[in-house]
């Protein structure tokens, strides 16, 4: 099989290359696509140097499947044209809510791939890790409402944002003046309750993505509200999730269900360090669930702590798993 990656030099593109190198997918030829600035440079793939091709000059007919990891503006311009010649898996938000575009987390709704028309969307990174935990619980008890607060790493905003965190941290420790270019306020030693632009009702686009994408992937009847916060760490998104069910539940069964959830691992000990933090999940394929407990204010609700590598399962790994699903469906 021939496969292409658009945006091969970015955070998600490079992580996708890493995942593909370790996957069992048999790739005959891989095409790495980027901007004119990166064209001509070389990236190693399975010990072979691959020359980066310029997007504007690339022929999309070369590959059966193309992963786009280049943002909404690039997707808006190039995905419709590319999809005439190749199946596109797009990591941007641009096509996610279009009715004829499947929004896919393979462990959750791989059956939706049956209706794709050569464009498939990868959900938001925060949505992916959350629905992995929600899906089996919803199947068993039917979820009525979700309240989620996210604590999102700066790598979700791109490489320049990671560089800014590092630079601000250095400047802060050296008592130098701190400048912010990628964030609305200083991110080093701080939290920013603002990711993406504000909507007219005071929610941010990131928060609305989580609401709308969860409804599309799981169930339109689920009520959900989100608060998304940028935190000064490099990699790993964390979520505090309150889940209310339609009816009463068996708490022992809740734990059993989560322990058997595809793509997830429960680490939940009621002692110091008996939970997972973002520092521990970098480059891990697993979504970790901790702090499982009853909501003492609501007999039909529970609380969870969910942590995952936002560049891995939140982007690159999910894309590669979609590729695997497409191959297996042939």
Q: Percent of the chain beyond pLDDT 90?
A: 97
Same domain, 107 and 196: no
Same domain, 135 and 276: yes
Tell me the C-alpha distance between 155 and 157, whole Å: 5
Mean pLDDT on 67-93: 96
Same domain, 33 and 175: no
Mean pLDDT on 52-68: 97
Q: How many CA atoms lie less than 13 Å away from 89 in the CB half-sphere?
A: 29
Give the structural domain span for 48: 2-123+315-329
Output the six-digit token pair for 83: 């999809």
Same domain, 277 and 325: no
Same domain, 154 and 212: yes
Q: Is 270 a catalytic residue?
A: no
Q: Which of 116, 138, 228, 237 is catalytic?
A: 237
Q: What is the pTM of this model?
A: 0.94
Same domain, 97 and 196: no
Same domain, 139 and 249: yes
pLDDT at residue 330 tops 80: no
Same domain, 141 and 249: yes
Mean pLDDT on 192-197: 97
Q: What mean pLDDT value characterizes the chain?
A: 96
pLDDT at residue 11 tops 90: no
Same domain, 322 and 279: no
CATH number (domain holding residue 44): 3.40.50.720
Q: Which of 125, 138, 228, 264 is catalytic?
A: 125
Tell me the C-alpha to C-alpha distance, in Å, between residue 275 and each of 39, 231, 238, 290.
Answer: 44, 19, 12, 5
Q: Strands 237-245 and 301-308, how do they pair?
A: antiparallel
pLDDT at residue 291 tops 90: yes
Mean pLDDT on 11-24: 94
Same domain, 104 and 148: no
pLDDT tens-digit readout, 159-182: 899 999 999 999 999 999 999 999
Which of 18, 19, 6 has the alpha carbon at shortest distance from 322?
19
Q: Percent of the chain beyond pLDDT 70?
A: 100
Quote the number of domains for the chain.
2
142 phi-psi bin (left φ>0, alpha ψ -120 to 50, beta other): left
CATH number (domain holding residue 193): 3.30.360.10
Same domain, 297 and 322: no
Backbone φ and ψ for 156, nearest 5 degrees, come out as: -65, -15
Q: Is 237 a catalytic residue?
A: yes
Same domain, 22 and 69: yes
pLDDT tens-digit readout, 295-328: 999 999 999 999 999 999 999 999 999 999 999 8
């Amino acid at each position: 099989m021939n496969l292409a990656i658009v945006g091969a030099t970015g955070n998600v593109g490079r992580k996708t290359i890493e995942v593909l190198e370790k996957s069992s997918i048999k790739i005959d030829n891989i095409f790495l696509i980027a901007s004119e600035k990166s064209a001509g440079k070389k990236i190693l793939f399975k010990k072979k140097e691959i020359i980066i091709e310029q997007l504007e000059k690339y022929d999309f007919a070369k590959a059966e499947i193309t992963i786009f990891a280049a943002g909404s503006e690039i997707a808006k311009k190039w995905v419709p044209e590319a999809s005439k010649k190749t199946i596109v898996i797009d990591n941007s938000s641009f096509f996610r809510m279009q009715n004829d575009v499947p929004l896919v987390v393979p462990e959750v709704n791989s059956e939706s791939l049956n209706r794709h028309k050569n464009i498939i969307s990868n959900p938001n990174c925060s949505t992916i890790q959350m629905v992995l935990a929600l899906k089996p619980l919803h199947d068993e008890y039917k979820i009525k409402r979700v309240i989620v607060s996210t604590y999102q790493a700066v790598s979700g905003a791109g490489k320049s944002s990671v560089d800014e965190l590092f630079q601000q941290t250095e400047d802060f420790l050296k008592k130098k003046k701190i400048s912010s270019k990628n964030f609305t306020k200083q991110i080093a030693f701080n939290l920013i309750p603002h990711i993406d632009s504000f909507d007219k009702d005071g929610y941010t686009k990131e928060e609305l993505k989580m609401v709308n994408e969860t409804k599309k992937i799981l169930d339109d009847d689920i009520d959900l509200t989100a608060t998304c916060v940028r935190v000064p760490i490099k990699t790993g998104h964390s979520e505090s999730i309150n889940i209310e069910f339609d009816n009463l539940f068996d708490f022992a069964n809740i734990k059993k269900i989560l322990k058997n959830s595809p793509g997830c691992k429960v680490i939940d000990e009621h002692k110091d360090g008996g939970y997972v933090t973002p520092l521990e999940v970098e480059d891990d394929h697993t979504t970790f669930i901790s702090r499982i407990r009853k909501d003492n204010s609501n007999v039909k609700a529970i609380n969870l702590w969910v942590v995952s590598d936002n560049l891995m399962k939140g982007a690159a790994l999910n894309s590669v798993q979609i590729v695997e699903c497409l191959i297996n469906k042939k």
